[in-house]
Amino acid sequence: MKLAVTCEFRFYRTPDGQVWTESVFLYDFWLRYLKVFDHVTVVARILEVEQADPSWRLSSGNKVEFVALPYYVGFVGLLKNMFAIRRRIHHQLSQSDGAIFRVPSQSASIACFLAKPVKPYAVEVVGDPLDVFNSGITGTLFDKVLGVATYLSLQRICKKAAAACYVTQEYLQRRYNTASGNISVGCSDIELPKESIRNLPRIYSANASKLVFVGSFEQLYKGPDVLIEAVRLLKQQGVELNVVMLGAGRFLGSMQQLAAQKHCSDNFEFVGAINHADVIRYLDDAEVFVMPSRTEGLPRALIEAMARGLPCVASNVGGIPELLPEQFLVDKDDAKGLADTLASLCLSPQTLTQASANNLAKSREYELDVLVERRTNFYLDYQQRVLSLST
């Protein structure tokens, strides 16, 4: 059975036909589909280049080919190419036996606009566009209108899908449910190798003061400004916390300036971009993980921190409440609530020890072997649905 998969990521193709990625969607990623399907065709934006950057990794490979959508950038580029995008996706679906849309996706919205594709399709719901636009990060009225349109489109796509797989257990399902009787499962995209999960929880005999934050500074989705204010409030109360900030982006400099303005530069170490192996090392060196995000799906960084036995404090957005108990959740943009919750946790060795044990146990639900089996069963169920509808 031939499968088409659409996604919003942008790839590069060299003259030899190989397709490359700067970060995610390496060739190994597509192997999850090849456990069930005979051949995978990825439909995505591809930029033709003369040669690959040494840092790029291969995404194409045996039984995985790519069909290029027009390489647009931005909403204006999307509008200019929307009819070409629709034609190309529908043509590829006509050449395939089944299709999976990784959503939210502007190209999938265009393909399904006014009429669903002829072939019964499945969706993998990996995020919530409405939360992104409601987070306060995007400022213009146009952005908010686009957010509502994307939300309504995704609701429609999911409702008409023959099968839906969500990265959350409940959150995304409530907002983007599929029709009654159709296949619906919760299966995180985050897969932890068994060796990345600690064997034993941490034991705390003293208060905690070493925190770690992981997130891009390209936008302020992760709430680093809220964390800086919370640390300032605690410092006024005589509670000194030291935070290692991992990540890079255009707001990194302004966050360093904000810490200086709040007279707490000494409480922060801004490390910048690092590779994944070093992230794990920083998690192991820390005593508490903090994630005051304004919007999230099901955050990988949080689950990885839990797998290293770290007590965690995070905002109650997206799928985070599925990971942490209420006592360690705070409202987004609530610096005082974040400060109070951090103090309650960090100043109690007993609470820290119990949180470590609870988080470690929860992280085991995201072990690789467990999720691979669940996802493979989803693909098998979808395959059987397609075969039954085609006979």
Spatial contact of 228 and 264, defined as CB atoms under 8 Å apart: yes
Q: How would residue 191 be classed by pLDDT, with cut points 50, 70 and 90?
A: confident
Q: Say whether 317 sits in a helix, a strand or coil.
A: coil
pLDDT of residue 32: 95
Strand locations in 86-227, DSSP E? Answer: 98-103, 121-125, 163-166, 183-186, 210-214
Q: How would residue 312 be classed by pLDDT, with cut points 50, 70 and 90?
A: very high
pLDDT tens sequence across 23-61: 889 999 999 999 999 999 999 999 999 999 998 999 999
Q: How would residue 129 be classed by pLDDT, with cut points 50, 70 and 90?
A: confident
Average model confidence (pLDDT) for the chain? 93
pLDDT tens sequence across 140-178: 666 677 778 888 999 999 999 999 999 999 999 999 999
pLDDT of residue 276: 80
Determine which helix (DSSP H) or strand (DSSP E) holds 336, and give its type and residue range.
helix 335-346
pLDDT of residue 75: 81
**Structure tokens, 96:** 């395939």
Q: How would residue 275 be classed by pLDDT, with cut points 50, 70 and 90?
A: confident
Distance from chain centroid for Cα 186: 14
pTM for this model (two decimals): 0.82
Q: How would residue 214 be classed by pLDDT, with cut points 50, 70 and 90?
A: very high
Statement: 194-365 belongs to CATH 3.90.1150.10: no
Task: Examine the pLDDT at 264 and tell me if it is beyond 90.
Answer: yes
pLDDT of residue 184: 96
Residue the block writes with tokens 């897969």: 191
Same CATH topology for 2-191+368-390 and 194-365: the answer is yes
For strands 2-13 and 39-48, give the pairing. parallel
Sorted by where each begins, the domain ranges of the chain are: 2-191+368-390, 194-365
pLDDT tens sequence across 332-350: 999 999 999 999 999 999 9
* CATH number, domain 2-191+368-390: 3.40.50.2000
pLDDT of residue 205: 98
pLDDT tens sequence across 64-116: 999 999 998 888 898 899 999 999 999 999 999 999 999 999 899 998 876 66
